[in-house]
Amino acid sequence: MSSEAIIEHRRGVGGGLAFVVCGPSGAGKNSVIERVMEVIPGFSYSVSFTTRPRRSDEVDGRDYHFITDKQFTELVENDEVVEHVTYLGHKYGTSRAQIKEVFAEGKDVILNIDVNGAKKLMDRGLNDFSIVYVFLTPSSLEILGTRLRERGTETEKQMQARLAVAAKEMKSMPLFEYLVINDDLDTAVDELRAIVVAERCRIIAAND
C-alpha cells in the first residue's frame, strides 16, 4: 500500500476495525465500553441477539435484540450471525448485517462477547477486517463475585453459575492481545481508550 493510501485511510477515523471485548460476566465490560464510546468518535456498538429474558434496566434494540428461540434458530440457519454461543442456557449471537453496515459507514465496531464467541472469531476472522482482541477483567474472582452480588440482576444460583464460567474464561486470557484490568473504572477506560487509539494509528498491512 502506498504512503498516500495509508494517509488517506487515516484521514477517516479509520474504519473497519472490530474491537472484541471479552471477559467474565460482571467484569464491567458494558460500563467501560460505554465510557470509551463517549470519548472516542467513529464507533458503533454491536447489539447482539439473545434469547435471555430482558432485565428491567435493559432496552430492546439498545442493549440486545431480545428474540425467541425460534427466531434465533432462523437467524443461524440463514447465516445472519457471524458467531453464536449458548451461555448458561441462553443463546447469544452477533449480527452480520449490523457489522457490515458499520464498516460501510467507515466506522469501527465494538463487540461485547464471551470467550467462546471470541475463539470462534479467532478461527474464522471477519472477512478482510482486522479484529483486535481485548480481555477485560477485575484482578480477582473475589472482586468479580462482589460486583455480581452488588449488581443484583441474578439469583444466587445464577450468580454461582456465572462465577464458575468466569473461572474457566480466565484461563483463556493468554489467547488475547491485550489485557485491561478493571479494578478502577477510570483506569480501565483510559487503557481501553489507549488500545483503540494505538490500533487506529497502526499502519495497515500492505495487500498490494
Question: Which residues contribute to the site for ligand 5GP (CB under 6 A)?
Answer: 25, 48, 52, 83, 85, 87, 92-94, 112-114, 116-117
The sheet that has 81-87: what strands, in order across it?
64-66, 48-50, 90-95, 81-87
Is the Cβ of residue 2 or residue 102 nearer to ligand 5GP in the bound state? 102
CB of 203 vs ligand 5GP, minimal distance in Å: 30
Is the Cβ of residue 25 or residue 182 nearer to ligand 5GP in the bound state? 25
Is the Cβ of residue 85 or residue 196 nearer to ligand 5GP in the bound state? 85
Q: Are 46 and 95 in contact (CB under 8 A)?
A: yes
The three three-digit cell numbers of residue 55, written as one number: 432485565
Query: Of the candidates 120, 121, 137, which has an alpha carbon nearest to the alpha carbon of residue 129?
Result: 121
Amino acid code (one letter) for 139: S
Strand 64-66 and strand 48-50: the pairing is parallel
Residue facing ligand 5GP at closest CB distance = 117
Is the Cβ of residue 22 or residue 196 nearer to ligand 5GP in the bound state? 22
CB of 3 vs ligand 5GP, minimal distance in Å: 38
